[in-house]
Structure formats: C-alpha cells, structure tokens
Chain A
Amino acid sequence: MPAIVGAFSLFLLVGSALLDPGEAEFPGPRFVPVIVGGTGLVLAVLLAVGVLRSPEPVDDPTAGTYRTYSDFAALAWVTGGFLAFALLLPYLGWILAGALVFWCTAHGFGSRRPLFDVLVALFLSSLIYLVFGTALGLNLPSGILGGGF
C-alpha cells in the first residue's frame, strides 16, 4: 500500500513538473497537485517505515494450510474474468461477455458445477439484457449475436 501511495504521489509531482502552466497566476493548476503529491510522498515513507518496524501479523485461522494470506487463484479468476469481459464486450456482445464474467467469478468463488453455471450465467445476462437493454433502453452492445459490429 505505501508503494501505491508513493507511486501515485510521484506521478502527481512529475506530472506537475512537466505541466505547462500557461499564463495562469500564482495558485495555478500545479499548486494543489504539488501539495497533495508532496503530502502523499511523506505519508508513503512514514507508512513504509511503520510496516518495516512492526509488520502486522494477520491472525489467520487457516494459517499453515496455505502459504499466503490471500487466495490468489480466486483473485486471478475474478480479475481475469472482468478484464476479459471489458476487452471482449464490444465483440462478444453483452449476453456472452456478461455470462463470461459471471461464470469466471462464480468459478473463482469455488462453484463446483461448471456446466450448470453456464446456464445460470446465460440466463442472468440475457435477463439483464432484456430488462435494461430492451425495457429501460440502455445501450448494451449486441455483439456477434446481433450480427453487427
């Protein structure tokens, strides 16, 4: 976490330095980002020192069974599924892409009936397409099922 804060603060500071302020007067567009970025950097250092001095052990009831605190396989399924959904949405269309992300998440959460899940996923994404896309008029892509892209 200190790394994220630090990196983001650096991004703000570097971006401010490269920014062309134009002919704006004193508290120009750089003013606030520099303050925020500077504070962030200080905080990141303080937090990092805190973590190094006293690494907080998490009380994990299942310690010993798994090597890491977080379940990275499950995380990978969910994030991967979502990324695929985002990138493939214009091509696959809402129904297929939506079913995909639902299935991946369900799988990541430890569902043991992959084929049945496919049916549930397709049913749910079609239902959403009907309710939101058709009835409420949201512009959901139809993708290859609609034959148009």
Chain B
Amino acid sequence: METLDLLMQGFAGALTPMNLMWVVIGCLLGTAVGVLPGLGSSMAVALLLPMTFALDPTAAFILFAGVYFGGLFGDSTMAILLNTPGQASAIASTFEGHRMANAGRAPQALATAAIGAFIGGMISSVLVVFVSPSLVEFSSMFGPEEFFALAMFAFIATASVVSDNVLKGLASLVLGLGITVVGVDSVSGVERFTLGLPELFEGISLVTVTVAVLALGEVLYIASRVRRDREDLQVRKAGRGFLSRQEFLEAAPAWGRGTVIGLPFGVIPAGGAEIPTFISYDVERRLDRRRKKPKFGTGAIRGLAAPEAAGNATTGMAMGALLALGLPISATAAIMLAALQQYGLQPGPLLFEQSADLVWALLASFFIAMVVLLAINLPFAQLWSKLLLIPKHYLYGGITLFCGLGIYATAASVFDLVLLLIIGIIGFVMRRYDYPLAPLMIGMVLGPLAETSLRDALLASVGDPVTLVTGWITWVIYALLLLVVGASAWGALRKRTQRDV
C-alpha cells in the first residue's frame, strides 16, 4: 500500500498543468521525430536531451518520458506506412504491418500497433511501480564486485548480441570504454590522456558523444548516400483507426503474448527491445503455421500486434531497471542515464530515497504519456504522414543545426563543437562499415562504473582477482552471461543454415 501512496503522490506531482503540458509536448515532439524516416526514438531523445537542461529536473524527465515513448510510437507508425523503421526495434513490425498497409488496411494496422504498444507499456509500467522497490532492496546487496560483474554482463551481452559480427561489436565497445578514461581519474585524481588540453580535464561529455554518434553521424551517413539512392517515398492514406470486433479478438492474445515475452528483457542488459520483438514475431509465426489457414505473409494482424506489445513492454521495464539499478539496457536508456547524471542524480538504490518525489512523478508520467500517446496516435496518423512532405535537405539541415544548438547549449564552447564533429565523423565511418553503435554507448555509460568498481574490489582484496567471483550474485550474473553468449552463438549458427525472414 505504501507503494500506491507514493504513486498517488507521484500523480499529484505529474498532473500539475505545467507538467501535463510537458508530457503532451514531449509526446508530440517524440512522435514527430520518430515519424521522420530513418529517425528513431534514440535520435529523438539524443536531439532533445540538451534542450531539456533549461527545465527543472521533474519537468525535464516528464518531457523525456513523453519523447521516449513518443519516438517509439512514431517509429512504428512509419515502419507500417512506409516500411522505413527508424531503428532496429521497429523492424519486426514492418514484416506484417507494412503488408497490412499495402493491402489497404493501414488504419487497422496503426490501431493494432498503437493499442499493442499501449498494453505493453501500461503493464510494464504497473510492474515497474511494484517491482522497483524490491529491485532497490536487492541492489543494496551489491558491492563493487557485483557491479563489475553486472557491467561486464552488459558489455559482453550487447557487443555479442547486437551485431552480426562479434569483433565489430567489441571494437565499438572498446571505443566507448576508451573515451571514458579520458580526463581526471576518479580514483587517484591523476589526469589522463588529455594531451594537456584543459577542456578535456572533465572528460568527454556523454551528451556530446551521444549527439555526435547518433544524430550527426546519421546526417553524415545520409548525406553520403542521399544523391545515390533513389527511393521515392509514397505517402499512403491512413484514416481513422478502427478495429472490428473480430480483429480485436484476433489480436488480443498476441498482445498478451508479446507483453509477456517483452517484460523480462527489460531487466536484462542485452541491447534493448529488438530481441524480444523478433522473438515474439517468431513465436506468432510458429503458432500461425499450425493453424488451418496460415495468414503470415499476407498481413497477419498478430504478427504486428505481438512485436509492438513486446517492444514497449521491454522499454517500460527498462526504465525501472535504469532507475533502480542504474543499469541502461539500450542506447536510449543510456542517454536517459546521461541526462540523470547531468542533473547530479545517480540512479540506483539511493535515488529512490533521495529524490523520491522526482522518481514517482516520473513513473506516474509514464502512465500519462501512454494515455496521451494513444489519444494522439489513433486519430492523427494521417497528419503524421504529412511530415514526410518536408524536403530532405531542409530536414537534415535542421537536424544539423539542432545538433549544434544542443551541444552549444550544454557546453557553450567551440571546443565541444569541434569534438562533436570529430566524433560524428567516427560515427559516420562506423555506420558506413556496419559497426553497431549500441556497444559504444553502453561502454561509454557503464565504463566509469566498471572501472571504479573493478579497482575498488581489487584494492580491497589487495590485488587478488579471485574476489571478483565470490558471492552467489556474481555467479548468477556470470552464468547468465554464458547463457546469453551461448544463445547468440547458437543463433548465429542457426542463421547460417536457415534463412527465412
């Protein structure tokens, strides 16, 4: 009951007219960026992150929640209408969703996706509210060894799962880790790798790297291809989303299954929502094959409902894991962590004690964001597709301008702008040669935690590495890690023999 009281207080904090306005603005902005072709929710968050620093923390995070979920909604809208998923977690939705749209059932497809996302997000938010206090209690048992194990898990799992090529994933991780060691060492206070530049004493800002790699790198990549690829975007008509009773009943079990599949992935730092979306798509396809008349391949509503629910269930849970453990499971969550740190808040057990009002207002705003999104996505899908009419050169010109604005707003220095450009070029090269970006972000975010906890643990044990694998929690984590690596190796082997999707 205590939890409910806290949540009610959170609602009281989030439902002030000002904060309500921020949720709505966040949802609109997030959807708008997510809807633009090729831009996903992580891009939305990365671009808008620096802008939020003008607000107070509560308002900023409420705005963020709106942008984050809005980006996911916008992503799937475009995945369905135009077959252009903004990021990997929307790819599974394109398979059946786009076929539905091609078959003239775009409104139904959009409604299925919106309701699925709503259900997945809602259930996970409820779970987060009730689970995070116990997660917090659990995480207070963590010492440096456990945190190091957790960070290693996140590193290896993302690097091996996200990319097809483990070497590329690890290389991306190394870059991210390497960036974090620049600056004054937090344990000993020695200044490292600064080349004597005073601007680097505080290290390279995560915000700069985020905007550089995710936003500017993308602009450069598109620039390098824009005059070569000729894909003419067609705007299809999408009216009001109505589901017939029969369609609703058909989609309902898929929404449920998708949510159940998505939930556990929210607390496993293995690269975010793309894996559960593919798993749930695969489950639906297998179930479909057993039916008398298989519908997959012709725009099966279940093949869209399940991944959407799974994706949002994972995202919702991920926010819980982020707040309670300080553990980002995806690039987008990593950016949120950066935002928290920018406000001097360290997610983890202490956050719930020290900034209870903020945390609960944020959790409450998840619910509000879901409702607002459902309200603006069901009737306005047609409107969103109008955004595609912005000419590409103005769109990307504006994004470049906003990258500059964002970084200048946080640092107010020319040095950071040049740094942004340099890292942006590296981001472009990575994209050009198919290197995954998520490991870099995770490495960058968790690098300092991994380093300090490793060294704390080793200092406490006078350099005895055995200390890293004592205690049952570390055993469990390393066992899980073996499991994940094994599973991805198995998956890679299987992919070679059987190509279906």
Contacts and interface: CB of A to CB of B under 8 A. Distances in A.
B227 A22 contact: no
Interface string A2-24: 10110011011001100111101
A22 to B, nearest CB: 6
Contacts of A106: 393-394, 396-397
A111 B391 contact: yes
Contact of A87 (B188, B223, B400, B414): B414
B426 interface: yes
A26 B391 CA distance: 58
A33 B178 CA distance: 7
Contacts of A110: 226-227, 392-393
Interface string B414-425: 100110110011
B354 interface: no
Contacts of B397: 101-103, 105-106, 109, 121, 124
Nearest to A85: B404
Given A39-B170, A85-B404, A20 B178 contact: no
A136 interface: yes
For A4, A26, A107, A120, the residue with the greatest tally of chain B CB atoms inside 10 Å of its CB is A4
B36 to A, nearest CB: 14
Contact of A109 (B192, B223, B421): B223
Contact of B167 (A47, A124, A138): A47
A43 B228 contact: no
Contacts of B432: 69-70
B131 interface: no
A14 to B, nearest CB: 10
Given A11-B193, A132-B409, A82 B455 contact: no
Contacts of B185: 29
A74 interface: yes
Interface residues of B, number: 64
Given A31-B455, A36-B178, A43 B188 contact: no
Listed residue (B397, B405, B430, B450) with the most chain A CB atoms within 10 angstroms of its CB:
B397
B178 A1 contact: no
A32 B171 contact: no
A33 B181 contact: yes
Contact of B192 (A15, A86, A98, A121): A15
Nearest to B392: A109
Contacts of B401: 98, 101-102, 105, 124-125, 128
A62 B227 CA distance: 10
Nearest to A87: B414
A149 to B, nearest CB: 13
B228 A105 contact: no
Contacts of B216: 82
A136 B405 contact: no
Nearest to B221: A70
A8 B400 contact: no
Interface in B202-254: 216, 219-220, 222-229
B51 interface: yes
A4 B226 contact: no
B105 interface: no
Nearest to B179: A8
A44 B400 contact: no
Interface string B461-499: 011000000000000000000000000000000000000
Contacts of A44: 171
Nearest to A22: B190
B174 interface: yes
Contact of A85 (B392, B417, B454): B417
Interface in A89-110: 89-90, 98, 101-103, 105-110
A44 B400 CA distance: 31
B177 interface: yes
A122 to B, nearest CB: 12
A33 to B, nearest CB: 5
B168 interface: yes
Contacts of A130: none
Nearest to A38: B174
Nearest to B185: A29
A66 B188 CA distance: 53
Contacts of A85: 404, 417
A43 B170 contact: yes
11 contacts: A15-B192, A36-B174, A39-B170, A74-B224, A86-B417, A98-B401, A106-B396, A108-B223, A109-B392, A109-B393, A109-B396
Interface of B: 51, 54, 167-168, 170-171, 174-175, 177-178, 181, 185, 187-188, 190, 192-193, 216, 219-220, 222-229, 391-394, 396-398, 400-401, 404-405, 408-409, 412, 414, 417-418, 420-421, 424-426, 428-430, 432-433, 435, 450-451, 454-455, 458-459, 462-463
Given A1-B435, A89-B408, 20 more contacts: A1-B429, A4-B429, A12-B193, A22-B190, A25-B459, A28-B188, A43-B167, A47-B168, A60-B228, A71-B225, A78-B400, A83-B421, A101-B397, A101-B401, A102-B397, A102-B400, A105-B393, A110-B392, A120-B394, A128-B401
